[in-house]
């Protein structure tokens, strides 16, 4: 089965880090976000993927190269105008030379979904569309999907108010779409699959099936969820076969580790550094002597000079943090510069 992945989103809730880099390339524990989806496809033997992107979107060659490292054949469908989720799927499907159902991913989740089970259920139920669902504690921020006892989808409730929360099953952003479902999407128009296409199919009496996923799933769409995904991966909550390979540096004995750490390729960490809680150190970053990092993510090529202290912060690619600086609950965008003895977020 061929796959379409939607990667054209602006990633506004992950700014400032998506101002210079597509969301799908943001490093989650030193691995590009999209590589976790590529690993999932590879596990289930899927070899062809079409990436629905914006026209002029940067780093497409890099994204394609990552796909090839997973033995995937990668093509791009480029939108000159915004087409919405369904419109992007429709355009990308035009590149397929097959009448088989199509697997679709939203491009911002990490999960261990059993794709074989999803595809089999779609076939057994002769579904027009199958929607993968997951259960969450706070469903109000997501689109709810209401099913009957046989697993048939009865309704979709996007961004529900308190009185509309009648279930904790939400749309997980993974679909299997039949050719009939694709045919119902108008070409060249901005159409939402969640708000328009699926409700339209229901109104036409089509068979929409929900497949509940009970394993790991997270929508990496905000800094809060980015941080949670980083902790989860460091804790081993995602199976090792779905964590892409990446070269990491071993920490010297004179580095004090009081938690769980990922140090990217060619990261240099000087003696006396203390790493507490969950810490991600990006590739080619430098930590000077006697720095303290706690519950913090450094993107690649960050320089932290001696005796700096950083807690509960995100530091963007190519930033420089001066000596004796104190940061807490800070978000420093790519290329930030903080001079020696700076203090942000606390005194």
Catalytic residue numbers, as ranges? 159
Radius of gyration of the chain (CA): 22
Q: Cα dihedral angle (87, 197, 218, 127), rounded to 10 degrees?
A: -120
Distance CA 186, CA 50 (A): 19
Q: At what angle do helices 33-43 and 115-124 cross, to 10 degrees?
A: 60
Q: How far is CA 323 from the centre of its chain?
A: 33
Distance CA 285, CA 331 (A): 17
In the structure encoding, which two tokens stand for residue 39, read together? 């690993």
Distance CA 191, CA 176 (A): 18
Distance CA 298, CA 109 (A): 21
Q: Are 201 and 184 in contact (CB under 8 A)?
A: yes
Locate tokens 């969950």: which residue? 278
Q: At what angle do helices 33-43 and 60-69 cross, to 10 degrees?
A: 30
């Amino acid at each position: 089965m061929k796959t379409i992945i939607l990667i054209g989103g602006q990633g506004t809730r992950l700014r400032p880090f998506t101002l210079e880099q597509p969301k799908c390339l943001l490093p989650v524990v030193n691995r590009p976000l999209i590589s976790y989806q590529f690993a999932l496809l590879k596990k289930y033997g899927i070899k062809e993927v079409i990436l629905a992107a914006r026209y002029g979107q940067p780093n497409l060659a890099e994204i394609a190269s990552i796909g090839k490292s997973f033995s995937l054949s990668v093509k791009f469908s480029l939108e000159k105008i915004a087409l919405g989720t369904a419109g992007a799927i429709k355009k990308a499907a035009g590149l397929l030379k097959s009448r088989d159902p199509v697997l679709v991913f939203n491009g911002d989740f990490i999960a261990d979904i059993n794709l074989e089970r999803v595809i089999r259920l779609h076939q057994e139920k002769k579904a027009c569309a199958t929607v993968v669902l997951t259960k969450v504690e706070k469903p109000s921020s997501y689109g709810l999907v209401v099913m009957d006892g046989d697993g048939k989808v009865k309704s979709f409730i996007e961004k529900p108010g308190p009185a509309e929360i009648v279930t904790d099953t939400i749309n997980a952003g993974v679909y299997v779409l039949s050719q009939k479902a694709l045919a119902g999407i108008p070409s060249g128009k901005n159409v939402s699959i969640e708000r328009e296409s699926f409700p339209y199919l229901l109104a036409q009496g089509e068979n929409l099936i929900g497949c509940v996923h009970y394993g790991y799933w997270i929508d990496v769409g905000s800094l809060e969820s980015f941080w949670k995904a980083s902790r989860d991966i460091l804790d081993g909550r995602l199976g090792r076969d779905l964590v892409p390979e990446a070269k990491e540096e071993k920490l010297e004995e004179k580095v004090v580790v009081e938690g769980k750490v990922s140090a990217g390729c060619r990261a240099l960490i000087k003696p006396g550094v203390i790493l507490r809680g969950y810490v991600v150190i990006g590739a080619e970053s430098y930590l000077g002597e006697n720095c303290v990092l706690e519950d913090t993510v450094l993107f690649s090529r960050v320089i932290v000079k001696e005796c700096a202290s950083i807690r509960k912060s995100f530091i963007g690619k190519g930033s420089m943090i001066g000596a004796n600086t104190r940061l807490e609950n800070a978000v420093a965008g790519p290329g930030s510069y903080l001079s020696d003895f700076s203090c942000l977020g606390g005194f």
